[in-house]
Amino acid sequence: MPSSFPMPINNQPPRMLRLKDGLKDGLGRAITYLRVSVTEQCNLACVYCKPRTGALERAEPPAMSRNELVQAVQVFTCLGIRKVRLTGGEPLMRRDLETIVAGISPEVEGRVHLTTNGFHLARRARGLRDAGLSGVNVSLDAAERGAFERLTGKDGLSRVLAGIEAARAAGLKTKLNAVVLRGWNEDQILPLARLAQTEGIQVRFIEFMPYQGNGWGKDQFMPASEILDTVREGLGTSLEEEPVVGLEEGPARIFRLPGSEGKVGVISTLSADFCDRCNRVRLTSRGELKACLFGNKPVDLLEPLRNHASHEDLARLIRQALTEKLDCHPMRRGQNPDLANGMWQVGG
């Protein structure tokens, strides 16, 4: 780990500026969770994420250097962010990810998590843990080899399973995420639920979300209620819902699987949104703040950072952007969302 972390922001020690009141948006929602996309580049081409235009192949290398990234995160943590998730693109495409984790981890008392496709996880899980990572969500949309390849464009299921095993062996809190698309992988719901049951792991099924160029169609949408019915009927069991304790599980509803440590969860972004409980803000690899996944114009933080803006000025920009954070995503009002950014750019 380089000795220069944590970085002073333009020579001001960030810890001195840490605020007690925390960060609130214009509606009084406490903002404590930052998702940072560390790169737009990805080694898989998932059907639900890949832009039809082929733009993913031309994804820009990350604009933010690791020092800039850590500096930007420090501004957020001083304002009240308590948990950071690194995402992408594919975060493991960055060779300096361990150094980034090491720079951020002390800022949030170790609450740094990663969302990854798991393809390169097996050989990096221990190093990431040693750098201060505490948890990993692995995207796994299929439990069968052929289905995995159809969805991701790569014959990589065994590599991802090895990555999951390595993450668990390294002591990282490990969960699986599966996006469900009707006509693509609804036949994988049961195999994934069985995997959760036999492996004693948590699998969370995510409703497919629309954005520019990902081929969104109502026909492919499968609501969380139907996903849960598929699990109940397929396993021949009722599911006991876990009580919600704080925001630890984020927006997921979690259900125990009988006779196992395993759990299934659903994230119902569209059928029963959770905007009123939203505690998150996003930073892209271009150094832009996104107050809402589907709305709010991005606010550039990178240029001010490079122009030696003071900590107060950066904090002002963030606070201003959050006063305008949408009360709910536009689809709830029947409006088209801001589709300017793909999920691979914003980080999901």
Please give the residue ranges that form the binding site for ligand SAM (CB under 6 A).
42, 48-49, 87-88, 90, 115-117, 139, 177, 179, 206, 208-209, 214, 343-344, 347-348
The minimum distance between CB 295 and ligand SAM, in angstroms, equals 16
Task: Decide: 102 and 5 in contact? Cβ < 8 Å.
Answer: yes
The minimum distance between CB 346 and ligand SAM, in angstroms, equals 8
Indicate the residue among 62 and 88 with the shorter CB distance to ligand SAM. Answer: 88
Handedness of CA 137, 106, 38, 323 (dihedral sign): positive
Indicate the residue among 209 and 292 with the shorter CB distance to ligand SAM. Answer: 209
The minimum distance between CB 194 and ligand SAM, in angstroms, equals 20
Which residue, among 237, 233, 236, 254, has the nearest Cα to 245 in the 3D structure? Answer: 254
Which residues are registered as beta bridge partners of 175? 137, 202
The minimum distance between CB 73 and ligand SAM, in angstroms, equals 17
Task: Decide: 97 and 121 in contact? Cβ < 8 Å.
Answer: no
Indicate the residue among 132 and 163 with the shorter CB distance to ligand SAM. Answer: 163
The minimum distance between CB 247 and ligand SAM, in angstroms, equals 18
Indicate the residue among 14 and 287 with the shorter CB distance to ligand SAM. Answer: 287
Burial profile 37-68: b = 16 or more Cβ within 10 angstroms, e = fewer: bbbbbbebbbbbbbbeeebbeebeebebebbb
- By beta carbon distance, the residue nearest ligand SAM is 348
Which residue, among 118, 31, 119, has the nearest Cα to 75 in the 3D structure? Answer: 31
Indicate the residue among 13 and 54 with the shorter CB distance to ligand SAM. Answer: 54
Indicate the residue among 115 and 284 with the shorter CB distance to ligand SAM. Answer: 115
Chain centre distance of CA 59: 18
Which tokens belong to 12? 């001001």
The minimum distance between CB 281 and ligand SAM, in angstroms, equals 16
Q: Please count the residues of the chain.
A: 348
Task: Decide: 332 and 274 in contact? Cβ < 8 Å.
Answer: no
At residue 114's C-alpha, the angle toward residues 132 and 290, to 5°, is 115
Distance CA 101, CA 29 (A): 27
